[in-house]
Amino acid sequence: MNHSPKTTRIQERESLILRLVWMLVFVCAWQLAELLLLLVVLAQVALRLLNGQVNTDLQAFGDSLSQYIAQIGRFGCFSTEQKPWPLSDWPRPRGPVLEYTDLQSKRP
């Protein structure tokens, strides 16, 4: 089936309009996610001060949430066509890269 150049341009424009709608939705999600990430950071600081250690569940959630925010940014910058959650899977948390206790043990 051959599409004329005019039909192709119309389809591309409709696709872009739909993408812009999704981008607006994800901008709202970004704002909420940023606020939630701030709360996770503050909670982790408070827990570290009070208990001497961070909460591993909050640590995992904060990592997933930061990946989600990055996915929104990649979609908004046209770096990917994959839409973030809820249209794809929620990001899996990664393990900590460097633990605070490792820094303590390596001091001279």
On the 0-12 / 13-18 / 19+ scale of CB atoms within 10 A, 68 is buried
Our count of domains for the chain comes to 1
HSE (CB half, 13 Å, CA atoms) of 77?
Answer: 7
Compute the distance between CA of residue 2 and CA of residue 30 in angstroms, rounded to an integer.
40
Residues 69, 30 contacting (CB under 8 angstroms): yes
Mean pLDDT of residues grouped by 10 in the chain (108 residues)?
Answer: 71 86 95 97 96 92 96 94 91 78 53
- Residue 67 is predicted with a pLDDT of 96
Q: Which domain, by its residues, includes 26?
A: 5-105
Q: What pLDDT shows up at residue 78?
A: 92
Q: Is the dihedral of CA 34, 39, 42, 44 positive or negative?
A: negative
Amino acid at 21: V
Neighbours of 23 (CB within 10 A): 16
Please state whether the predicted TM-score (pTM) of the whole model is above 0.85.
no
Q: How far apart are CA 74 and CA 62, in angstroms?
A: 18
Residues found in the chain? 108
